[in-house]
Amino acid sequence: MTTTTKQLTLESRLVQTGVGRDERTGGISFPIYPSATYRHPAVGASTGYDYTRSGNPTRQLLEETLADLEGGARGLAFASGMAALTTLFLHFSAGDHLLVSQDLYGGTYRVLDQVFGKFGLAASYVDTTDPAAVAAAIRPESKALLVETPGNPLLGVADLAALGALCRRHDLLFIVDNTFLTPVLQRPFDFGADVTVYSATKYLGGHSDLLAGALVARTPELGERLYFLQNSTGGTLPPQDCWLLLRSLKTLPLRLERHCASALEIAHWLQEHPRVRTVYYPGLANHPGHQLSRRQASGFGGMLSFRVDTAATARQVLERIRVISFAESLGGVESLLTLPAVQTHGDIPEGERQRLGICDSLLRLSVGIESACDIIGDLEQALA
Ligand SMILES: *Cc1c(COP(=O)(O)O)cnc(C)c1O
């Protein structure tokens, strides 16, 4: 990246990503390099690329863009969010203990519980919206804290500054899964995070047509260690998908503006509906994390959940929606509605789900960028 583009705003830098970087052609779009391997100019010499698991020009541009977007030393692109998380967990050893948000992506719980548990990596699930509860769960063998904020699916807000200070005091690696807000709305490194995790399948990709993940390390040392793990285990993002994600990132700030504005409008509308019991959205003034969210993020995001009167109503809504799709996932331009208790959080044991409040009448809406009035119209007829 040239010095002139460095001085631009984040929005402009994203749009300008790769422009003119292909010096031979001056291409506005940076090309896809599908080559798995590279010819060496001489013995002991390299073009800088030897083998695509270790480095690929298209992935390199994406990884540099991710690092720049986050303000970190190193970005790494993976074949999925789970591949990114798995690689990150491989940083730890048997006997280590992790503190993890209880309001967590179901797949992260599953891989820790059913895969890493077997290898002796222990995890405790704590209410990260309560720093005292996190402090109380720290053990001598605790090595890291993994936080998702806002949480999933109840959108609880964790105090990043307080947790960052706690991690520093106890020498814990501070990991933030920033999938829901992205660096455009929330900047974990400003609060002491060491590494951020993304399911780029969600907002970064943004079109429900790409599975991808990312890690961004704040320091070069941690970046080097995570790169070693990425290259050793091979969960890298293919060049074609790197290109698609690069294209998606150009419109990320613009998309988020619309996601946020529509989510707030829809949350207000849902709050007034007689069959809706509770709306969980940090942008609502009555949300417990509202003030905190205003302080640590520049937007409330496009995710909201709501509890309807009965499980039967929830089923009715899922069967009747026409504009919104009944589907898992989130963060795409298309609105998606899901039933967390059965779908995204189906792997969390029933008792634990009940305790967390993930009941059969809870619906999670990923607000797309269709007109808010069309999304509201669809919910209105589905709830009637
Ligand atoms: C989807 C998701 C993941 C997993 O990412 P994949 O791309 O589906 O592998 C991890 N964390 C959060 C918060 C997610 O929403």
Q: What domains are defined for the chain?
A: 32-249 (3.40.640.10), 253-383 (3.90.1150.10)
Q: Whose C-alpha lies nearest to ligand 1, atom 4?
A: 81
To test the pocket of ligand 1, the residue of 102, 202, 215 to mutate (highest count of ligand atoms within 8 Å of its CB) is 202
Q: What is the pLDDT of residue 5?
A: 58
Confidence at residue 97, expressed as pLDDT on a 0 to 100 scale: 98
Residues with Cβ within 8 Å of residue 225, at least 6 apart in sequence: 91, 217
CA of 85 to the centre of ligand 1 (A): 9
Q: What pLDDT is stored for residue 1 in this prediction?
A: 47
SS3 state of residue 93? coil
With a 6 A CB cut-off, is 182 part of the ligand 1 pocket? no
Ligand 1 centre from 106 Cα, in Å?
Answer: 9
What is the best residue among 201, 204, 211 to mutate for testing ligand 1's pocket, by most ligand atoms within 8 Å of CB?
201
Using a 6 Å cutoff on CB, does residue 82 contact ligand 1? yes
Q: What is the pLDDT of residues 299-317, one digit of tens each?
A: 999 999 999 999 999 999 9
> Counting atoms of ligand 1 from 1, which one is nearest the CA of 152?
13
Which pLDDT does position 6 carry in this prediction? 59
The whole-angstrom separation of Cα 32 and Cα 15 is: 18
Whether residue 109 has its Cβ less than 6 Å from ligand 1: no
Q: What is the mean pLDDT of the chain?
A: 96
Residue 235 CB partners (closer than 8 Å, separation 6+): 78, 79, 80, 83, 84, 86, 87, 213
For the CA of 330, the closest atom of ligand 1 is 15
Distance (Å, whole) CA 126 – CA 115: 20
What pLDDT, in 10s, does the model give residues 264-296? 999 999 999 999 999 999 999 999 999 999 999
Structure confidence at residue 4 (pLDDT)? 56
The pTM of the full predicted model, rounded to 2 decimals, is 0.96
211 touches ligand 1 (CB under 6 Å): yes
CA-proximal residue: ligand 1, atom 6 (nearest): 81
Closest Cα partner for 89 from 113, 59, 66, 112?
112
pLDDT, residue 356, reads: 81
Amino acid residing at 299: G
CA 327 – CA 337 distance, rounded (Å):
6
> What's the pLDDT score for residue 355?
83
Q: Residue 297 gets which letter from DSSP? A: B
Mutate to test the pocket of ligand 1, among 82, 152, 198 (most ligand atoms within 8 A of CB): 82
Residue nearest (by alpha carbon) to ligand 1 atom 1 = 199
Low-confidence ranges of the chain (pLDDT < 50): 1
